[in-house]
């Protein structure tokens, strides 16, 4: 691929804000026509611009996925689909004991099954173009912190699906790449913190004694982690590279923290990782009254 492809389409899901919006703008700046998936009309108005065409896309609604496929099939300029960037995600953090099963299902529907649905729908176009799938995972796809069971579980699964898909599609000329961001400044952390606090408020007294301090620490750690992270534009540039370079790696990390943590996950024993995770949370635990 070259730096300018005005006659090719890119699809980016979850493009309302943060990493997805930054990726859509970066790809448009490189000359692609980007179909940017957003959930609301006002989000589309905010991202609409030169080379960025917003499309209403809730991955959990089959009619939205079908409409996107129809949009590509009926493109008036008959432009091929060069890459699909599966970025849409939600964050829900709570101890496994207290997270309602419906919340587990909702998170997996968006963060895993929704990506599979859109991949299935758009693969016929990618076969024709010998295009590429870029799945946005997370450092949470390699290390699962306390209360991250649902989120990390979906990301671990996305990593496995990506490996399997890469091996299925390689003989047919379709490439599959995973991007693993670490701390990136975006709105998702704030939304996840609000959800965690809402769930904490619903705990019974025994659960509150067990997990109240942990949830408080995880929320504070997550917000600080994100606040000190890279700008979304930096992540968008890495993802755009992953979608466009001629010979992509199978995996990219975003940020030094992601590069370090993914390496630690490969080489350190589980108990050592447990101690590191506990030490990272310790400064954020509420002080006990005297």
Residues classed as catalytic: 151
Phi-psi region of 216 (alpha: psi -120 to 50; beta: other; left: phi over 0): alpha
User: Which residues lie closer than 8 Å to 97 by C-beta, 6 or more apart?
Assistant: 207, 210, 211
For residue 193, what are its two tokens?
């913190």
**Taking Cα atoms as reference points, which of 167, 189, 184, 185 lies closest to residue 176?**
167
Extract the tokens encoding 208. Answer: 């509150």
Alpha-carbon distance 167 to 30, whole Å? 29
Give the separation between CA 201 and CA 211, rounded to whole angstroms. Answer: 11
In which residue are the tokens 């939205």 written? Answer: 64
Measured between alpha carbons, how far is 138 from 156 in angstroms, rounded to an integer? 9
| Neighbour tally for 14: CB within 10 Å | 29
Task: Report CA 93 to chain centroid distance, whole Å.
Answer: 15
């Amino acid at each position: 691929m070259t730096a300018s492809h005005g006659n090719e389409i890119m699809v980016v899901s979850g493009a309302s804000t943060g990493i997805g919006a930054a990726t859509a703008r970066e790809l448009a700046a490189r000359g692609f026509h980007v179909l940017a998936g957003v959930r609301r009309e006002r989000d589309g108005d905010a991202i609409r611009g030169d080379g960025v065409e917003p499309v209403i896309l809730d991955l959990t609604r089959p009619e939205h996925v079908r409409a996107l496929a129809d949009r590509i099939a009926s493109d008036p300029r008959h432009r091929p689909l060069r890459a699909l960037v599966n970025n849409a995600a939600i964050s829900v953090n709570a101890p496994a004991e207290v997270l309602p099963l419906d919340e587990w299902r909702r998170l997996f529907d968006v963060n895993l099954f929704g990506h599979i649905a859109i991949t299935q729908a758009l693969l016929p176009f990618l076969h024709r173009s010998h295009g590429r799938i870029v799945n946005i995972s997370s450092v949470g796809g390699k290390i699962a912190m306390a209360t991250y069971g649902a989120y990390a579980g979906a990301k671990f699964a996305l990593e496995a699906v990506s490996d399997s898909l890469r091996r299925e599609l390689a003989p047919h000329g379709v490439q599959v790449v995973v991007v693993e961001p670490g701390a990136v400044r975006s709105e998702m952390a704030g939304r996840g913190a609000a959800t965690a606090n809402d769930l904490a408020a619903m705990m019974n007294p025994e659960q509150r004694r067990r997990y109240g301090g942990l949830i408080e620490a995880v929320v504070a750690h997550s917000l600080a982690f994100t606040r000190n992270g890279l700008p979304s534009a930096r992540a968008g540039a890495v993802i755009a590279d992953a979608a466009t370079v001629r010979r992509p790696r199978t995996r990219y990390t975003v940020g030094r923290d992601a590069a370090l943590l993914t390496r630690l996950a490969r080489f350190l024993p589980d108990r050592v990782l447990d101690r590191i995770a506990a030490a990272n949370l310790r400064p954020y635990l509420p002080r006990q009254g005297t």
